[in-house]
């Protein structure tokens, strides 16, 4: 417990490398406190991409696990509206606001065994968000692929603090972002623990993305479950980001980025961004062949 007043701050958060780095820096700052009330100053946060509530939830969960309590201050009205509509602020004593435009996929914290609740959550909140037209078969497979991300996080991360999800539809920017984050050991440590392979955190993400690579034992499919989503995002001209420990990977129409951020993020995050300006219709190859 510190005698000085416990303080931390957070600037603008967007779904990009800088946004994830800022969350990692906040996590590192909060990690220095134990049994404290920490005032987190958000006055410099002029914008917050609502889907990034999932990794912010991970950061705060670690701090609370260290027996701290978090107090949020300096919230700008626009940011407060965003984080109240998606229910993130409800856990910090702020009143909820109604999502009148139906653009949020609310912030939720799940336990690793909550896959049925997570599936119901997807079914309920992915509707009406201007997703590209998909056949029934592809739509089911797509949702199952997102569910697989959840199941993999539950199985691989060893997170005792849960799995966090949140999304946001940005109509003006023609994008829908959906984020799943866990507070677990990270991909690099999991690979080392299960397979004895040492690698940097960026290379660990690259390894986990390769089809057939998994830390699961036996004949169970593993990896990150991104094959179908990645194929769809390629055609859709959307984006996928993965952050784990210090590793950062991004896949977008501009190409693929694999790098390391300066500060370790305490878990793994997968953010999927769908381009809602896409007017194409999609179906599974097997449906096209029939």
> pTM of the prediction?
0.94
Task: Give the bridge partners for 274, in sequence order.
Answer: 176
Pick the closest to residue 83 from 115, 56, 114 (CA basis): 56
Run of H or E residues at 203? helix 201-209
**Lookup result for tokens 């690793």:** 112
Per-residue pLDDT of the chain (290 residues; tens, 9 = 90+): 544 578 999 999 999 999 999 999 999 999 999 999 999 999 999 999 999 999 999 999 999 999 999 999 999 999 999 999 999 999 999 999 999 999 999 999 999 999 999 999 999 998 878 889 999 999 998 999 999 999 989 888 889 999 999 999 999 999 999 999 999 999 999 999 988 999 999 999 999 888 777 766 654 445 566 888 999 999 999 999 999 999 999 999 999 999 999 999 999 999 999 999 999 999 988 887 65
Give, in order, the Cα–Cα distances in Å from 123 to each of 70, 118, 152, 269. 32, 9, 19, 21
**What whole-number distance in Å separates Cα of residue 101 and Cα of residue 104?**
8
Could you give the domains of the chain?
A: 6-289 (3.30.565.10)
């Amino acid at each position: 417990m510190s005698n000085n007043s416990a303080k931390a701050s957070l600037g603008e958060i967007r779904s990009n490398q800088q946004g994830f780095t800022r969350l990692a820096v906040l996590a590192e700052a909060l990690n220095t406190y134990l049994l404290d009330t920490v005032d987190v100053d958000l006055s410099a946060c002029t914008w917050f991409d609502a889907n990034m509530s999932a990794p912010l939830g991970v950061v705060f969960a670690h701090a609370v696990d260290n027996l701290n309590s978090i107090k949020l201050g300096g919230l700008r009205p626009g940011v407060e509206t965003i984080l109240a509509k998606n229910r993130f602020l409800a856990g910090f004593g702020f009143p909820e606001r109604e999502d009148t435009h139906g653009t949020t996929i609310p912030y939720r914290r799940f336990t690793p065994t909550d896959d049925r609740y997570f599936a119901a959550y997807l079914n309920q909140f992915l509707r009406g968000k201007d997703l590209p037209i998909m056949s029934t078969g592809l739509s089911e497979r797509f949702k199952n692929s997102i569910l697989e991300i959840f199941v993999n996080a539950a199985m691989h991360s060893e997170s005792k603090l849960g799995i966090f999800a949140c999304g946001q539809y940005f109509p003006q920017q023609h994008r829908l972002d959906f984020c799943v984050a866990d507070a677990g050991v990270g991909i690099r440590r999991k690979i080392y623990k299960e397979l004895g392979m040492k690698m940097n955190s960026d290379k660990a993400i690259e390894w986990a993305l390769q089809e057939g690579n998994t830390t699961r034992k036996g004949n169970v499919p593993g990896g990150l479950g991104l094959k179908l989503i990645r194929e769809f995002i390629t055609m859709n001209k959307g984006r996928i980001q993965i952050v784990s420990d210090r590793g950062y990977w991004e896949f977008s129409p501009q190409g693929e980025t694999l790098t390391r951020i300066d500060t370790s993020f305490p878990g793994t995050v997968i953010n999927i961004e769908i381009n809602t300006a896409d007017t194409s219709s999609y179906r599974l190859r097997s449906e096209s062949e029939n």
